[in-house]
Amino acid sequence: MTFNPVLDGLKNYEAGKPIELVVREYGISPSDVIKLASNENPRGCSPRVLAAIQQESTRAHLYPDDSMYELKEGLASRFGVGKENVIVGAGSDQVIGFALHAKANPNQGILMAGVTFAMYEIYGKQTGATIFKTPSKMHNLNEFRALLATHKGAIGVLFLCLPNNPLGEGIDTEEIKTFLREVDPNILVVVDGAYQEYAAFKDPAKAINPKAFIEEFPNVLYLGTFSKAYGLGGMRCGYGIGEAGLIHTLHKLRPPFNITTLSLKAAIEALKDEAFVTHCMEENFREMKRYEAEAKALGFDFIESYTNFITLAFSEGKSASTIAQSLLEKGIIIRDLSAYGMNAVRVTIGTPEQNSRFFEIFKRAYC
């Protein structure tokens, strides 16, 4: 059977190794596996949210309220915007998909940092669009400027991952605003704030206020998620915030019932427990200092991180792939960044206990 030609350029996505696979392949007990590979919140979700999910499970047979009335109210109230400025997705991933299918095409390309969230490119290729990346791996706004000038009229969507996944770097919000004032207003700028709760906690200069952004820049789509700070990665719920006309257009691409009944309830309740999030942020950055100290002690580099993970970069004598594989066989899953052309690994900041175990095994693998 023949298929649409755009599929020829697509590969099947390979996700990070799940706990189940390590259990199967290495015969390690599930309780002994530590997953520091997917930037999940090691504290799980708020106890209040957990109770709500369990209660709502008796309604698992019922489709969710497809208007997502209560969740949109919660998000609108949280960010000081209107319900008409909010769209909900199965993870912010799905909203990325809506944005790309609305705007990108074989003549309208996609611009992003050299190393950034993989889904921008994966969904982007589904539209047949050309992918443009900056030469630098981390966000470099001057390189974005240069590519916009070179490919004037040929770029439809621009991604800024603030702070950036999988590298962790942040940029001051004032610099972003200056840059956005120069961008053609017909380019859709996706500001991916999946880790904004972390950045805002660590450095207010890197905090993004979605309301202020979409008021000044009607071409900005801000993305947030319940997968990281709120500890609901497995529930697949994220959101986009933008100018009402933009959000209305994106809704045309939203499938009905795109999040589960339990996810909807979980997200609604999660917004009511900000104290839980703050507690997680405190622990995250306290523990991150241990990683930084370890890197200094062992003599390798790390990227200053505004997220819940840290990128550890090794010198030539050490192989990131070998280290990651060695840890995997001991039941510790981290992300090898070799596929990004980097001799580095990305490690999610775990609980204090998980991190101690990581250091113990890592030192044996590294030294």
Give the count of beta carbons closer than 10 Å to the beta carbon of residue 142: 10
Query: Cα 11–241–211 angle (5° rounding)?
Result: 140
Distance CA 2, CA 21 (A): 34
Written as six digits, the tokens of 76 are 């609108």
Residues listed for the chain: 367
Written as six digits, the tokens of 166 are 């999988």
Residues 199-228 touching a second copy, rule: CB under 8 A, are 218-219, 227
Q: Please, what is the minimum distance in Å from the beta carbon of residue 282 to a second copy?
A: 18
Any contact of residue 246 with a second copy (CB under 8 A)?
yes
Any contact of residue 331 with a second copy (CB under 8 A)?
no
| Binding residue (CB under 8 A) for a second copy from 28, 34, 36, 41 | 41
Answer yes or no: are the C-beta atoms of 270 and 49 closer than 8 Å.
yes
Pick the stretch among 32-40, 75-83, 198-206, 321-329 that binds a second copy (CB under 8 A): 32-40
Residues 79-98 touching a second copy, rule: CB under 8 A, are 90-91, 93-94, 97
Query: Cα 262–255–268 angle (5° rounding)?
Result: 30
Pick the stretch among 158-166, 170-178, 258-266, 313-321 that binds a second copy (CB under 8 A): 258-266
Distance CA 276, CA 48 (A): 9
| Binding residue (CB under 8 A) for a second copy from 28, 75, 119, 271 | 119
Answer yes or no: are the C-beta atoms of 136 and 146 closer than 8 Å.
no
Distance CA 152, CA 149 (A): 5
Q: Please, what is the minimum distance in Å from the beta carbon of residue 208 to a second copy?
A: 20
Pick the stretch among 140-148, 173-181, 257-265, 281-289 that binds a second copy (CB under 8 A): 257-265
Closer to a second copy at the Cβ: 169 or 243? 243
Q: Please, what is the minimum distance in Å from the beta carbon of residue 151 to a second copy?
A: 17
Answer yes or no: are the C-beta atoms of 303 and 115 closer than 8 Å.
no
| Binding residue (CB under 8 A) for a second copy from 83, 257, 313, 359 | 257
Question: How does DSSP classify residue 222?
Answer: E
Q: Please, what is the minimum distance in Å from the beta carbon of residue 160 to a second copy?
A: 17
| Binding residue (CB under 8 A) for a second copy from 34, 191, 262, 349 | 262
Q: Please, what is the minimum distance in Å from the beta carbon of residue 144 to a second copy?
A: 19
Answer yes or no: are the C-beta atoms of 49 and 266 closer than 8 Å.
yes
Any contact of residue 238 with a second copy (CB under 8 A)?
no
Answer yes or no: are the C-beta atoms of 263 and 53 closer than 8 Å.
no
Residues 263-302 touching a second copy, rule: CB under 8 A, are 263, 266
Cis peptide before 5 (omega within 30 of 0): no
Written as six digits, the tokens of 57 are 């499970």
Q: Please, what is the minimum distance in Å from the beta carbon of residue 41 to a second copy?
A: 5
Any contact of residue 357 with a second copy (CB under 8 A)?
no
Phi and psi angles of residue 222, each rounded to the nearest 5 degrees, phi first:
-90, 135
Give the count of beta carbons closer than 10 Å to the beta carbon of residue 359: 17
| Binding residue (CB under 8 A) for a second copy from 258, 308, 348, 355 | 258
Q: Please, what is the minimum distance in Å from the beta carbon of residue 285 to a second copy?
A: 19
Any contact of residue 162 with a second copy (CB under 8 A)?
no
